[in-house]
Amino acid sequence: MDSRTSSSVNVVFWTLCIMGGFAILSSTMAKSPVLKPFSLSLGTPTDWTGVVASASTIPGILVSLPAASLSDIFGRKKFLLIAGFVFASAPFLYLLITVWWQLILVRFYHGFATAIFVPVAEASIAELFPNKRGERISLFSSVTYVGRVIAPALGGYILFATTDDFHMLYLSVAIAGVTALVMALPFLKERKQPIATRQPSAKETVKTMFYGWRAIIHNREVLVVSLVQASLYYAYGSAEFFLAGYLPEVAGLDKFSTGIIITSIIGVAIFIRPYMGRISDKVGRRLPIVIGCIVSAVPLLVIPLVTDFTALILLAIIYGFGFATVTASTSPLISELVPREVVGTSMGFLATAMDVGQTIGPIVSGFILATSLQYAGVFPSLALVVLFSCIVFALSGVAKKKLSSDA
């Protein structure tokens, strides 16, 4: 790759990163901390509040795979721009809401943005950097994590400064969303990916898409990596949710201390994940995934035995380190296990597995919390899920040898 090509590739990469940072800042700030009070102000019935909260996650399960598959056929740019349009347009719809059920529809629409953007962007990065997939995908994810971490504090400050003016908050969300779209516009000028000069018919498109899905479903190694990803986010989604209850109720910590501990998990991941991605590029994906699963499982086993703030934040940091180590390898690994023409499909499948795990985790853990075991059953059960997937991965032989970067 000559210096001019390398410079162009880096411009595209950093454009994706900046777009991702503003996009995730926008989508997260639309949810935290404003969604619950905004929902209550609309008179949302108590039994519908969970639907309001989860409405934006449903498109992740429904759309990530089809959108990423279609990006294999028609190119990444079109879908990055579609995602950018949704990021930019959805915030303005919040301003038009007058009854609670409209909030569900807007949240559902808003969820399409992230569902399309993340797997397509990661597929683009995997193609741009065949020899540095782990490092670059992880760096991209870390930038989006920054947006995710900043959003609650920024949203909370805007609500405080405007005396809970929800319209001002969603105008701020709109500014970030429009910025994400503006960052996507340069993709219109990028060189198109080599695709057939004749656009495929609807029948041909569906046939090609289902061919890619069959290739993924019949790939045992892809299924194993997806199981690891689903298990990891099953645990993460549950741990993040139930720590918010365990820390004040059992450990007796105040809201500020609780926020620091929960935020430290993703904070560690922001800094560690790019380094872990670079390491996995050099030593292979297998060892980081196995070690990361074990490291992330241990704190989950110990948390119910600890109530001291210092010990809990140390456990959160260790958990974040293990989480980042695994996720730095799963995305690049799955892109190396499939033919080039279905890289997007593989990323979409992995994103779907992640969303399924993150959705199911809190639900199952909620039933466990309702038993006599309570938190002493919740956190160890999460560790067992992660360790089970780790054992399956280790015994499967996936990535036993360092894969070729040109896969």
- Decide if 201 is inside a domain: no
The CA–CA distances, whole Å, from 85 to 3, 16, 177, 383 equal 32, 15, 8, 39
The DSSP secondary-structure symbol of 374 reads T
Q: Are residues 171 and 316 in the same domain?
A: no
Boundary (domain end) residue, out of 187, 222, 238? 187
Q: Are residues 222 and 138 in the same domain?
A: no
Up-side HSE of residue 276: CA atoms within 13 Å toward CB? 30
CB 75 within 8 A of CB 193: yes
CB 352 within 8 A of CB 346: no
- Decide if 200 is inside a domain: no
CB 339 within 8 A of CB 215: yes
Residue 37 has pLDDT above 80, yes or no: yes
Read off the tokens for 51: 């639907």
pLDDT confidence of residue 188: 60
Boundary (domain end) residue, out of 187, 222, 248? 187
Q: Are residues 265 and 320 in the same domain?
A: yes
Q: Are residues 62 and 101 in the same domain?
A: yes
Q: Are residues 229 and 182 in the same domain?
A: no
Q: Is 330 left (phi over 0), alpha (psi -120 to 50) or beta?
A: alpha
- Single pTM value for the model: 0.86
Domain region containing 346 = 209-397
What is the mean pLDDT of the segment spanning 181-190?
A: 75
- Decide if 220 is inside a domain: yes
Least-confidence region, from 64-78, 236-250, 292-306, 341-355: 236-250
- Decide if 28 is inside a domain: yes
Q: Are residues 37 and 109 in the same domain?
A: yes
Number of H helices and number of E strands within the chain?
A: 15, 0
- Decide if 196 is inside a domain: no
Q: Are residues 220 and 126 in the same domain?
A: no
Domain total in the chain: 2
CB 240 within 8 A of CB 361: no
Query: Between vectors from CA 182 to CA 197 and to CA 155, what angle results, nearest 5°?
Result: 135
pLDDT in tens, 352-396: 999 899 888 888 888 998 888 889 999 999 999 999 999 999 999
CA nearest to 90, candidates 30, 18, 49, 39: 30
pLDDT confidence of residue 206: 80
Whole-angstrom distance, CA of residue 304 vs CA of residue 380: 8
What is the mean pLDDT of the segment spanning 178-202?
A: 69
Residue 193 has pLDDT above 60, yes or no: no
Boundary (domain end) residue, out of 121, 155, 187? 187
CB 99 within 8 A of CB 91: no
pLDDT in tens, 162-184: 988 999 999 999 999 999 999 88
Q: Are residues 99 and 12 in the same domain?
A: yes
pLDDT confidence of residue 255: 77
Q: Are residues 69 and 142 in the same domain?
A: yes
- Residue 323: CB atoms within 10 Å: 27
> What are the backbone angles phi and psi of residue 238, rounded to the nearest 5°?
-75, -45
pLDDT confidence of residue 195: 47
- Decide if 192 is inside a domain: no
Q: Are residues 79 and 155 in the same domain?
A: yes
Whole-angstrom distance, CA of residue 344 vs CA of residue 95: 34
**Mean confidence (pLDDT) of the chain:** 89
CATH of the domain at 69: 1.20.1250.20
The CA–CA distances, whole Å, from 335 to 120, 133, 134, 237 equal 12, 9, 10, 24
Cα-Cα-Cα-Cα torsion 309, 315, 317, 320, nearest 10 degrees, comes to: -130
Q: Are residues 14 and 71 in the same domain?
A: yes
CB 300 within 8 A of CB 328: no
pLDDT in tens, 62-94: 999 999 999 999 889 899 999 999 999 999 999
Whole-angstrom distance, CA of residue 381 vs CA of residue 405: 36
Q: Are residues 178 and 213 in the same domain?
A: no
User: Which is higher by pLDDT, 203 or 308?
Assistant: 308
pLDDT confidence of residue 3: 60
Query: Between vectors from CA 41 to CA 37 and to CA 45, what angle results, nearest 5°?
Result: 95
What is the mean pLDDT of the segment spanning 124-130?
A: 92
Query: Between vectors from CA 269 to CA 401 and to CA 339, what angle results, nearest 5°?
Result: 35
The DSSP secondary-structure symbol of 390 reads H
